[in-house]
Amino acid sequence: MRYLAGILCILMISGCTRVPFQKTSFVPAGGVEPREVLENYRRGIPGHYQMLHTIMFQYGWNRVSALGYAEIDRGTGSFAVAGMNPVGVKLFEISGGKEGVTKHFVLEGLSGKGDFTSAMAQDIRRIYFDLLPVPGAEIMKKGSRILFRQADGGGVLVYTFAGKGWRLVEKEYFRDNTLRWRVSYYEYRQKEGKIYPWGIILHNYQNGYSLTVKVKEIQF
Amino acid sequence: MNMTSRKTCYLLFLLMIMPLLRGTLSGDAEAAAGDGNSPSDIRALMLRIENRVSDFSTLRTDFVQEKDLAIFQNRIIIRGRIYIQKPQRIAWHVDEPVKYSVLITDRVIRQWDEDTDRVQEISLSGNPVFRTVIEQLTAWFSGRYVQLLDEYAATVIRERPLEIEFIPRDTSNVKNIIKSINVTFREDGKYLQKVLFREISGDSTTILFRNTVLNAPLDEKLFRVKPSRKLGQWMPFRISFRGPDKQIFAHSGK
């Protein structure tokens, strides 16, 4: 009973993160050339695309889901996203670039919860942009993973490439030796010669929430 | 979500359900013939529809919802089914692109979606906003169309098939959101064919109704929001213990 209570206690404190995607199958990194991994990945991912997806926002034990539509242009660093409930009622619509963000529409209840627009823009940039490390990033091989570490905004950004196709599976940001956020990419799929992750989970440890994204349709 | 935004959200929801108000309209097109758009003519037309709409106890229909957002080029398409059982039960099931269901009764609103896999229930007791919503829904399903004229100015756009445009009056709650709502009836005049919502923002939504059947027997399971699953259909999940470190809340990050 004590063990059971302990486990329940840990679950209550840490929160349960449901991962509705298949885990990446890891392969040894022994003879793999890191620069080749980056080049292959760079060639494989689309530069400009539109997609329909579902988003689940989880805060503690609260879960809210929505439909989303996004246009991403990695070349210019610009994006436009809209969220709506499954019945089709629009919840938010924003667009932005590398720096700024424009609020086209945010439902009153959402805009009242802090700076929703900026937070959403920041999460979009973390998920969909800067998918490759800078040329001077430090390279490490750890078993079945290849890590690229680089200084970023007063902290350290770590890219992890793994799996049979050696694709980006994680982006993690540390500051003051503490993990601030992590983006995990799951189940890469191929369409018209381009690859994209079918599932994405962003954990924002600083603010204690997660976003789970499932791609439904994508167009390049 | 505060009360105002809930109200906004559900007013929009109501507007989407409004097209389900239907009747046998044989003869109504004729009623709207000629000029047909004077306030008295429109009121007479609405009254005629109102008098004919109350002859069903159940309704089932498929729908295709096409949403055009002004900032995107592509169209978002939502498909699903709607079931209505008088006096006060409405089930709205979305099948694509995500599975979602909402049940509205005179006492509760219950909803479920596949991503959260949770049933959320909102009681109507002590919640005047939802109570108002249900009262309005009930009124519409009872065929009290004339009351729409309090909030909208209606114009007959076309006679065959009959198309009526509703424009929110200056005093309407949705005046700042909705530009117009166009309701088109089928050629046979018996049911709705489509409803087009134009928003002030430039967005538009079209709902097309297909395979509509009145007074068909409806299975009780159609009014359940969470689909029952067979053993083995449960999605496997794992639990991550990589939770947040408490000290991170004390810092601002990138």
pLDDT at residue B23 is higher than 50: no
On the question of pLDDT at A132 being above 60, the answer is yes
Encode pLDDT of B148-171 as tens digits.
Answer: 788 889 898 998 888 889 899 999
Q: Is residue B18 part of a domain?
A: no
Beta-carbon contacts below 8 Å between A and B: 151
CATH number at residue B144: 2.50.20.10
B134-173 residues touching A, CB cutoff 8 A: none
Minimum distance, in Å, between the CA of residue B245 and any CA atom of chain A: 7
CB-CB neighbors (< 8 A) of A107 in chain B: 1, 5, 8-9
Q: How confident is the model at residue B249, as a pLDDT?
A: 22
Does residue B7 lie within any of the structural domains? no
Residue B213 belongs to some domain of the structure: yes
User: Where is average pLDDT lowest: A143-147, B4-8, B85-89?
Assistant: B4-8
Q: Taking the mean position of all CA atoms in its chain, how far away is CA A116?
A: 18
What's the rounded Cα separation, in Å, for the pair B194 and B158? 14
Q: How far is A192 from chain B (nearest CA, A)?
A: 19
- Assigned domain for B4 exists: no
Domains parsed from chain A with CATH numbers: 2-13+27-219 (2.50.20.10)
Residue B10 is assigned to a structural domain of this protein: no
User: Does some domain include residue B240?
Assistant: yes
Residue with token string 């993160």: A17
* Residue (of A80, A119, A108) closest to A208 by Cα position: A119
Of residues B65 and A12, more confidence is placed in B65
Chain mean pLDDT for chain A: 89
Question: How far is Cα A101 from Cα A117, in angstroms, rounded to an integer?
Answer: 7
Q: Do the domain assignments include residue B96?
A: yes
DSSP tally for chain A: helices H, then strands E:
4, 12
- Chain A CB contacts of B68 below 8 Å: none
Interchain pair A50, B74: CB under 8 A: yes
Range of the domain at B235: 25-252
Confidence of residue A61 (pLDDT cuts 50, 70, 90): confident
- Closest CA–CA distance from residue A24 to any residue of chain B (Å): 14
Residue type, position A15, single letter: G
Is ipTM beyond 0.95?
Answer: no
- Count how many domains chain B has: 1
In a domain, B167, yes or no: yes
Range in A73-77, B20-24, B178-182 with the lowest mean pLDDT? B20-24
Indicate whether this model's pTM tops 0.90: no
B244 CB near a chain A CB, below 8 Å? yes
pLDDT digits over B201-232, tens only? 999 999 898 998 888 999 999 999 988 765 44
* Percent of residues, chain B, with pLDDT higher than 90: 23
User: Do the chains contact at B116 and A64, CB–CB below 8 Å?
Assistant: yes
